[in-house]
Amino acid sequence: MNKRLTGILSFVSLTAAYLILRYPLFEYHGMKEWPMVLFIVDSLVVVISGIVMRNPYLPVCTVAGYIAGFLFGYSFQWEYGTGLNSMWIIWTCCCAAGIIAGGILSLHGRKQSPNALKNPQRS
């Protein structure tokens, strides 16, 4: 199995999620730039970790954080000023939590298989 496939599928999933959340669901969040900023940051994480470094956990957790961030942000947002709400804060925190969780899973996976670092099999 191609080890880069996880990164490629994660990038495709992230792009599809961005296009769905940015355009058809625009009326739910009303943000023009912030979904794109999160998409760019998450895309860099997915491409570097999943495609270049062949990490199986970080890209998947990053995409899950992006999608969960929208869902949690929409569900738990509150108004804190005239025309201002907290959805972008919740969405960003969930994206960061997904990246951190993927990093922890990646480190845990390396500790479980020390032979994987000594004898890497490239595909």
Tell me how many domains the chain contains.
Answer: 1
Query: What pTM does this model have?
Result: 0.85
Residue 28 forms part of a structural domain: yes
Examine residue 123 and state whether it is found in any structural domain, yes or no.
no
Round to whole Å and give the CA distance between 99 and 76.
21
Q: What is the pLDDT of residue 83?
A: 78
Q: How many whole angstroms separate alpha carbon 32 and alpha carbon 50?
A: 27
Express each pLDDT in 13-72 by its tens digit.
999 999 999 999 999 888 989 999 999 999 999 999 999 999 999 999 999 999 999 999
- Domain containing 36 equals 5-113
Maximum Cα–Cα distance across the chain: 58
Strand spans (E) along 2-107? 79-81, 84-85
Question: For a pLDDT cut of 90, what percent of the chain falls above it?
Answer: 74
